[in-house]
């Protein structure tokens, strides 16, 4: 799935030494990150690793107090509107309005993102079709399942035809079938448009299956970077060098993460924020 970079095209995202603190908490602490045009890049990490904060700096929703962020060459600190025009963002929080139909929800985003009046109806229809919601388009969003709502939010982000789609935990709280559905639609749009995708997730199995490259983030920084296979093979080789039998199964991405983050996967998961974000999604389903 990995695409070669075009040397003439700037990186989709470059973060250099990005830092962001909430009071005493260094949420992002010297983040270096590079996302190549056309790839699906997964930013992985436990609760509190700094993923959402980094994403919010990249989307210009938070300022860049230290370091540098560029999106397709545009500086997020100096050209916020220029950066915003390049991206579609699906936040963790609910962005669909339960009291509007699917079509009205997407049309609202088309207006906000300056899709020209003449093109609007067609682009809204295309975005809904891309996520397989044409038949449900004229039903109120409050009648949608959790997976349909996530796909509707995807359509909202896609209606402006972004070069970079940023998704924060797109499948949290969804059942396995709905999770697969969300990913299949992301991939189909990516294949059709060449769009770059930056996604955060806790789900190592999803990252392994769907991401071209992943960055394992822990305590505000990327601690390991590569394709899922490279990272798994790298740990396997290291374990063999340390005496593991050659017949031992290839480590999983979760093994790699535990190796990088120590107990990081366990010590914060299930905390208040984790519960709150899962509940937010659960509320959508109800
Ligand atoms: N608005 C805020 N005020 C104070 N501290 C915050 C705020 N938002 C995040 N933090 C803290 O910053 C750190 C990084 O949080 P962030 O949400 O970026 O992590 P994350 O990796 O996205 O976690 P999650 O997977 O739970 O979304 C955490 O210690 C968190 O408690």
User: Which residues lie below 8 Å from residue 225, measured CB to CB, with a gap of 6+?
Assistant: 213, 214, 215, 216
Q: Could you tell me the distance, in angstroms and rounded to a whole number, from the CA of residue 202 to the centre of ligand 1?
A: 14
Ligand 1 atom nearest to CA at 202: 25
Q: What percentage of the chain's residues is helix, strand, coil (to nearest 5)?
A: 45, 20, 35
Q: Is the dihedral of CA 129, 165, 191, 210 positive or negative?
A: negative
Please determine, for the modelled complex, whether the ipTM score is greater than 0.85: yes
pLDDT value at residue 263: 56
Nearest one of 210, 184, 191 to 199, comparing CA atoms: 210
The pLDDT score that the predictor gives to residue 137 is: 95
> pLDDT of the chain along its 286 residues, tens only?
444 556 677 899 999 999 999 999 999 999 999 999 999 999 998 888 999 999 999 999 999 999 999 999 999 999 999 999 899 888 888 888 999 999 999 999 898 887 888 889 999 998 999 888 999 999 999 999 888 898 999 899 888 889 999 999 888 878 888 888 888 888 888 888 899 999 998 888 899 999 999 999 999 999 999 999 999 999 999 988 888 888 888 999 989 988 887 754 544 444 444 444 554 544 443 3
CA of 23 to the centre of ligand 1 (A): 12
What is the spatial distance between Cα 15 and Cα 40, in angstroms, rounded to a whole number? 16
Give the pLDDT of residue 282. 41
SS3 of residue 90 by DSSP? strand
**Per-residue pLDDT at 94:** 82
- What is the CB < 6 Å shell around ligand 1? 22, 25, 27, 45, 47-53, 273-274, 277
* Alpha helices by DSSP H, the chain: 51-58, 80-86, 102-112, 117-130, 146-158, 176-193, 204-210, 228-241, 253-261, 264-267, 272-285
Testing ligand 1's pocket by substitution, the residue of 20, 48, 170 carrying the most ligand atoms inside 8 A of its CB is 48
68 DSSP assignment: E
d(CA 213, CA 191): 16
pLDDT (0 to 100) of residue 6: 60
Q: Encoding tokens for residue 119?
A: 């093109």
C-alpha 264, offset from chain centre: 20
* Ligand 1 atom 11: residue of nearest CA: 27
CA of 114 to the centre of ligand 1 (A): 31
User: Which domains does the chain carry?
Assistant: 13-285 (3.40.50.300)
């Amino acid at each position: 799935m990995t695409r070669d970079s075009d040397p003439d095209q700037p990186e989709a995202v470059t973060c250099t030494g990005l830092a962001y603190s909430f009071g005493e908490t260094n949420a992002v602490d010297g983040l270096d990150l590079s996302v190549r045009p056309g790839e699906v890049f997964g930013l992985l990490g436990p609760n509190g690793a700094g993923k959402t904060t980094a994403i919010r700096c990249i989307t210009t929703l938070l300022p860049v107090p230290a370091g540098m962020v560029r999106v397709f060459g545009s500086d997020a600190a100096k050209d916020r509107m220029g950066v915003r025009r390049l991206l579609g963002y699906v936040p963790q929080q609910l962005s669909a309005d339960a009291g509007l139909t699917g079509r009205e929800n997407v049309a609202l985003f088309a207006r906000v993102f300056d899709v020209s009046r003449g093109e609007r109806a067609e682009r809204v229809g295309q975005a809904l079709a891309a996520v397989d919601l044409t038949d449900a388009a004229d039903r109120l969003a409050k009648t949608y399942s959790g997976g349909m709502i996530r796909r509707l939010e995807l359509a909202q982000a896609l209606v402006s035809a972004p070069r970079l789609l940023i998704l924060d935990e797109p499948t949290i709280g969804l059942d396995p079938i709905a999770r697969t559905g969300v990913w299949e639609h992301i991939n189909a749009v990516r294949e059709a448009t060449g769009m770059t995708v930056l996604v955060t997730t806790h789900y190592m199995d999803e990252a392994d299956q769907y991401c071209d490259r992943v960055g394992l983030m822990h305590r505000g920084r990327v601690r390991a970077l590569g394709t899922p296979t490279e990272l798994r093979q790298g740990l396997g080789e290291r374990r063999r060098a340390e005496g593991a039998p050659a017949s031992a199964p290839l480590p999983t991405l979760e093994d790699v993460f535990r190796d990088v983050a120590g107990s990081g996967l366990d010590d914060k998961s299930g905390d208040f924020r984790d519960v709150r974000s899962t509940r937010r999604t659960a509320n959508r389903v109800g």
